[in-house]
A and B are shown apart, each in its own frame.
Chain A
Amino acid sequence: MTTLRIDVPYMARVEGEGALNIIVEDGEIKHLELNIFEPPRFFEAFLRGRHFMEAPDITARICGICPVAYQMSSSHAIEKILGVQISPEIRALRRLLYCAEWIESHALHIYLLHAPDFLGYESAISMAADPALRPAVEMGLRMKKIGNDLLALIGGREIHPLSPTVGGFYRAPTRKELLALKPELEWGLEASIKTVAWTATLDFPDFEPDYELVSLRHPDEYPMNEGRVVSNLGLDIPMEAFEEHFIDDHVPHSNAVHVYHRDHGSYLTGPLARLNLNLDKLTPLAKQALEETGHQFPSRNPFKSIVARAVEVVLAYEEALRIIDAYVRPEPSRIEAEPRAGWGCHITEAPRGMLYHRYELDDQGLILSCRIDAPTAQNLKRMEDDLWAFVPQVLALPHDEATLRCEQLVRNYDPCISCATHFLKLNVVEK
């Protein structure tokens, strides 16, 4: 009997802690699991009894890469309960803030976490040490920094921003402050267009499993803060119906829940799903950059998520520049909200995909219960299903390469285990 054992006890270049264990006997997968051993984080329990104004600040701590997503989903959900209507100026500033987060998160993943897989480097550090690739790493770092600088200006600081809150912002930046960032944003836009072309030259394994892609969709724009939940299989529901369709499930090998679609099982959320479902909503330069790659989209090849991510960086820079040009400082910067009892939920598009928050408040404005479904929790089951389909393709490869390909597959999802545990090491076992 031949056994292949893939054991990645601690998965690299992902956010947080998880392992991958695969056992293949005589060409048949006997065991496959993404083992999420990062401790559970209990955020939903921490929030019980807290005032609604604390929700954006507490939930932002779930992630150092995408705190804005947590602030946005929680604020919108609570605003629905309290009947708060934000102004168009606050709405625009929120979209600008989200652009900043997409830029810094995507640039980090493309250049520092994912590109080494495609180019055969152990890490971004060894990639940077290669004179041929050093300029690419430098470009990625500068693109990321621009996102961080924009985030710091709007949010007060880069990580866990202070200003965003229920109803808007404690302080809105001045037009002059934002205009000062324009030269770097214009450089970033050019760099992001080059990045799309660069990602398009990478080698993509021939792998197109059939699965459901789910994202928000908005009639007028590429989705970030608003929209309906749609899929390539015809789903089209309001956010309020999310829990009727998407079930979260606890599995023994994971401290992260697995979310699956009641009708179709595992599904994909994130840049590839968003792009496939919103191709007609791309900004002009993002659309042109994608067309010039020669790659056909929609595409279900998860390895091409790096191209999707790069296209979204172009879009985020374009949108940031557009919003800054039209910027009117919100007055007031925050709409006051009075406590009232009720139930509300909201989904925004975090860099990694849909982030669902649902809250129930009492008449004092204290949180009675909440549910948070992070994008990685929604993608975990899809990752495992992808591996079931992909592992047979790599069995003939040398063990180290097979292991690396499986890891690369998981990294297509830019998994944020810290967000999901509330996950990665690869253990492939061949018997």
Chain B
Amino acid sequence: MSSKNETRRAWSALLLGIGNEWASDDGVGPEVVRRVKAWWEGLERNATGEVGFVIMAQPDLALLDLLADCDRVIIVDAVRSGAPPGTLHRQAWEAGMLGDRGVERASSHGFGVRELLDMARALGKLPPRVELWGVEAASTAPGRGLTPRVAEAVESTAQALAEYLANLSP
């Protein structure tokens, strides 16, 4: 969350790890972003642009200003599509792509990724590129810790994200 308090500047990329780490596999987004952040911080600063890292249990309105300040945002989150647990789903976000989660959406407690991106779009704060990296979850039961196949997917997902960042043009 260190990026939240930094002075405003444009990032070439903002990594957003979303999920409740006390709800089993919902914690996969934070875990992946934490790994990538550690790798990034160990690098010699080179020609690649600035990258911001934010880990949150659930999106916050405060993210709107950060979104407006980056060239791209990559949102890493647990997803449920019926694919095998640990499967990585990578896609560019489009309006209407994320389903209504039903009950959660209604209250301000239910301000999720979909609502964040819809609000950012309405306010003209969306970065030029918005990518979703979803890791298929097996369980979101209460308690800490990822299920085995999702835990296994953390390393490969972090690796793919690191390669993605390394290849960003400055």
Contact B107 A11 (CB under 8 A): yes
Q: Measured between C-beta atoms, what is the minimum distance from A118 to chain B in Å?
A: 17
> Which of A15, A112, A145 is B65 in contact with, Cβ under 8 Å?
A145
Q: Counting CB contacts under 8 A, is A404 at the interface?
A: no
On chain B, the residues within 8 Å of A125 by CB distance are: 115, 118-119, 122
Chain A 1-26 against B: per-residue CB contact (8 Å), 1 yes, 0 no?
00000000111111111000000000
Q: Measured between C-beta atoms, what is the minimum distance from B82 to chain A in Å?
A: 24
Given contacts A141-B61, A141-B64, A148-B62, contact A17 B122 (CB under 8 A): no
Contact B107 A15 (CB under 8 A): yes
Interface residues of A in 131-145 (CB under 8 A from B): 134, 137-138, 141, 144-145
On chain A, the residues within 8 Å of B122 by CB distance are: 125-126, 128-129, 134, 137
Interface residues of A in 415-431 (CB under 8 A from B): 417-418
Q: Counting CB contacts under 8 A, is B9 at the interface?
A: no
Q: Measured between C-beta atoms, what is the minimum distance from A344 to chain B in Å?
A: 32
Contact A15 B108 (CB under 8 A): yes
Given contacts A124-B119, A128-B122, contact A17 B107 (CB under 8 A): yes
Q: Measured between C-beta atoms, what is the minimum distance from A157 to chain B in Å?
A: 9
Interface residues of A in 322-363 (CB under 8 A from B): none
> Which of A16, A108, A138, A145 is B109 in contact with, Cβ under 8 Å?
A16
On chain A, the residues within 8 Å of B103 by CB distance are: 9-10, 17
Q: Measured between C-beta atoms, what is the minimum distance from A170 to chain B in Å?
A: 19
Interface residues of B in 83-111 (CB under 8 A from A): 102-103, 105-109
Q: Counting CB contacts under 8 A, is A158 at the interface?
A: yes
Q: Counting CB contacts under 8 A, is B141 at the interface?
A: no
Given contacts A138-B123, A145-B65, contact A13 B118 (CB under 8 A): no
Q: Counting CB contacts under 8 A, is A213 at the interface?
A: no
Q: Counting CB contacts under 8 A, is A268 at the interface?
A: no
How many residues of chain A get a CB closer than 8 Å to chain B's CBs? 28
Which of B105, B106, B118, B124 is most buried by chain A, counting CB atoms within 10 A of its CB?
A: B106
Contact A144 B61 (CB under 8 A): yes
Q: Measured between C-beta atoms, what is the minimum distance from B141 to chain A in Å?
A: 15
The total of Cβ contacts below 8 Å across the A-B interface reads 57
Q: Label chain A's interface by main secondary structure.
A: helix
Contact B109 A15 (CB under 8 A): yes
Contact B106 A11 (CB under 8 A): yes
Q: Counting CB contacts under 8 A, is A78 at the interface?
A: no
Q: Counting CB contacts under 8 A, is A113 at the interface?
A: yes
Contact B108 A14 (CB under 8 A): yes
Contact B62 A158 (CB under 8 A): yes
Chain B residue, CB-CB nearest to A144: B61
Q: Measured between C-beta atoms, what is the minimum distance from B163 to chain A in Å?
A: 33
> Which of B102, B106, B123 is A137 in contact with, Cβ under 8 Å?
B123
Chain B 20-63 against A: per-residue CB contact (8 Å), 1 yes, 0 no?
00000000000000000000000000000000000000000110
On chain A, the residues within 8 Å of B64 by CB distance are: 141
Interface residues of A in 95-123 (CB under 8 A from B): 108, 112-113
Q: Measured between C-beta atoms, what is the minimum distance from B72 to chain A in Å?
A: 22
Chain A residue, CB-CB nearest to B118: A125
Chain B residue, CB-CB nearest to A64: B109
A137-B61 Cα distance, complex, nearest whole Å = 12
Given contacts A125-B118, A145-B62, contact A113 B108 (CB under 8 A): yes
Chain B residue, CB-CB nearest to A9: B103
On chain B, the residues within 8 Å of A418 by CB distance are: 109
A residues adjacent to B (C-beta < 8 A): 9-17, 65, 108, 112-113, 124-126, 128-129, 134, 137-138, 141, 144-145, 148, 158, 417-418
Please name 11 further chain A to chain B contacts, defined as beta carbons within 8 Å, in addition to the given A10-B102, A14-B107, A138-B123, sorted by A numbering.
A10-B103, A10-B107, A16-B109, A17-B109, A129-B121, A134-B122, A134-B123, A134-B124, A141-B61, A145-B62, A417-B107
What 5 A-B pairs have minimum CB-CB distances, sorted nearest first? Answer: A128-B122, A12-B106, A129-B122, A10-B103, A125-B118
